[in-house]
Amino acid sequence: MRDLNETLKILSSPVRRKVLVWLKDPFTAFHDQTQLYAFDVYGVCASLIQEKAGLSQPATSLCLKALSDQGLVVATKVGKWTYYKRQDQQLSAMLTELLEELEVTCPTNTSITA
Protein backbone atom coordinates (compact mmCIF):
# COMPACT_ATOMS: atom_id res chain seq x y z
CA MET A 1 0.00 0.00 0.00
CA ARG A 2 1.27 3.45 -0.90
CA ASP A 3 1.56 6.15 1.76
CA LEU A 4 -1.97 7.34 2.54
CA ASN A 5 -0.87 10.90 3.35
CA GLU A 6 0.93 11.22 0.03
CA THR A 7 -2.08 9.81 -1.83
CA LEU A 8 -4.41 12.29 -0.11
CA LYS A 9 -2.04 15.11 -1.06
CA ILE A 10 -2.10 13.95 -4.69
CA LEU A 11 -5.92 13.80 -4.61
CA SER A 12 -6.18 17.33 -3.21
CA SER A 13 -5.78 18.58 -6.78
CA PRO A 14 -9.15 19.08 -8.53
CA VAL A 15 -7.51 18.40 -11.91
CA ARG A 16 -6.14 15.04 -10.76
CA ARG A 17 -9.57 14.09 -9.40
CA LYS A 18 -11.17 15.07 -12.72
CA VAL A 19 -8.66 12.93 -14.61
CA LEU A 20 -9.61 9.96 -12.42
CA VAL A 21 -13.30 10.58 -13.14
CA TRP A 22 -12.62 10.81 -16.88
CA LEU A 23 -10.63 7.57 -16.81
CA LYS A 24 -13.50 5.75 -15.07
CA ASP A 25 -15.55 5.96 -18.29
CA PRO A 26 -13.31 7.18 -21.11
CA PHE A 27 -15.87 6.27 -23.79
CA THR A 28 -18.16 8.96 -22.36
CA ALA A 29 -15.54 11.46 -21.20
CA PHE A 30 -13.65 11.41 -24.50
CA HIS A 31 -16.58 10.57 -26.81
CA ASP A 32 -15.74 13.41 -29.19
CA GLN A 33 -12.05 12.49 -29.49
CA THR A 34 -10.25 9.67 -31.27
CA GLN A 35 -7.00 7.84 -30.74
CA LEU A 36 -5.19 4.98 -32.44
CA TYR A 37 -6.45 2.26 -30.05
CA ALA A 38 -9.85 1.76 -28.44
CA PHE A 39 -9.94 3.05 -24.86
CA ASP A 40 -10.38 -0.44 -23.44
CA VAL A 41 -7.14 -1.67 -25.04
CA TYR A 42 -4.49 0.53 -23.40
CA GLY A 43 -6.49 3.36 -21.84
CA VAL A 44 -6.48 7.03 -22.80
CA CYS A 45 -3.59 8.71 -24.58
CA ALA A 46 -1.89 11.41 -22.52
CA SER A 47 -2.43 13.92 -25.33
CA LEU A 48 -6.23 13.54 -25.05
CA ILE A 49 -6.04 14.07 -21.28
CA GLN A 50 -3.86 17.13 -21.87
CA GLU A 51 -6.33 18.60 -24.34
CA LYS A 52 -9.38 17.97 -22.13
CA ALA A 53 -7.65 19.33 -19.01
CA GLY A 54 -6.35 22.39 -20.83
CA LEU A 55 -2.89 21.89 -19.38
CA SER A 56 0.53 22.26 -20.94
CA GLN A 57 2.38 19.07 -21.83
CA PRO A 58 4.78 19.38 -18.85
CA ALA A 59 1.89 20.04 -16.42
CA THR A 60 -0.02 17.05 -17.81
CA SER A 61 3.03 14.83 -17.44
CA LEU A 62 3.50 15.89 -13.80
CA CYS A 63 -0.20 15.32 -13.08
CA LEU A 64 -0.20 11.83 -14.59
CA LYS A 65 3.14 10.91 -13.01
CA ALA A 66 1.81 11.84 -9.57
CA LEU A 67 -1.25 9.63 -10.08
CA SER A 68 0.91 6.82 -11.46
CA ASP A 69 3.43 7.01 -8.61
CA GLN A 70 0.58 6.42 -6.14
CA GLY A 71 -0.73 3.49 -8.20
CA LEU A 72 -4.00 5.28 -8.99
CA VAL A 73 -3.41 4.93 -12.73
CA VAL A 74 -1.27 2.60 -14.76
CA ALA A 75 0.76 3.87 -17.71
CA THR A 76 1.38 1.82 -20.85
CA LYS A 77 3.91 3.04 -23.39
CA VAL A 78 3.07 2.16 -27.01
CA GLY A 79 5.63 3.51 -29.42
CA LYS A 80 6.09 7.18 -28.57
CA TRP A 81 2.66 7.47 -26.90
CA THR A 82 1.69 6.79 -23.30
CA TYR A 83 -1.79 5.59 -22.37
CA TYR A 84 -3.39 5.68 -18.92
CA LYS A 85 -5.98 3.51 -17.18
CA ARG A 86 -7.53 4.06 -13.77
CA GLN A 87 -6.78 1.49 -11.07
CA ASP A 88 -10.06 1.05 -9.22
CA GLN A 89 -8.64 -1.59 -6.89
CA GLN A 90 -5.96 0.82 -5.62
CA LEU A 91 -8.53 3.61 -5.21
CA SER A 92 -10.79 1.29 -3.20
CA ALA A 93 -7.88 0.14 -1.04
CA MET A 94 -6.90 3.76 -0.31
CA LEU A 95 -10.46 4.70 0.62
CA THR A 96 -10.78 1.64 2.84
CA GLU A 97 -7.51 2.50 4.58
CA LEU A 98 -8.71 6.07 5.15
CA LEU A 99 -12.03 4.94 6.61
CA GLU A 100 -10.28 2.43 8.88
CA GLU A 101 -7.80 5.05 10.10
CA LEU A 102 -10.68 7.43 10.87
CA GLU A 103 -12.58 4.59 12.53
CA VAL A 104 -15.60 5.09 10.28
CA THR A 105 -18.01 2.19 10.31
CA CYS A 106 -19.92 1.69 7.06
CA PRO A 107 -23.32 0.00 7.08
CA THR A 108 -22.98 -3.71 6.33
CA ASN A 109 -25.03 -3.46 3.12
CA THR A 110 -22.79 -0.72 1.71
CA SER A 111 -19.54 -1.31 -0.11
CA ILE A 112 -16.99 1.12 -1.45
CA THR A 113 -16.75 0.89 -5.21
CA ALA A 114 -14.52 3.09 -7.23
Note the pLDDT tens digit of each residue in 42-94.
999 999 999 999 999 999 999 999 999 999 999 999 999 999 999 999 999 99
In a domain, 79, yes or no: yes
Are 91 and 24 contacting, i.e. CB atoms less than 8 angstroms apart? Answer: no
- What is the enclosing helix (H) or strand (E) of 84? strand 81-86
In a domain, 113, yes or no: no
The alpha-helical segments, DSSP class H, found in 2-107 are: 4-11, 14-24, 26-29, 39-42, 46-53, 57-69, 88-101
Alpha carbon distance 44, 25 (integer Å): 10
pTM above 0.85, yes or no: yes
CATH code (residue 15): 1.10.10.10
In a domain, 94, yes or no: no
Are 60 and 49 contacting, i.e. CB atoms less than 8 angstroms apart? Answer: yes
Find the domain containing 37 and state its range.
4-87
pLDDT at 113: 59
Is 12's pLDDT higher than 90? yes
In a domain, 32, yes or no: yes
Alpha carbon distance 105, 26 (integer Å): 32
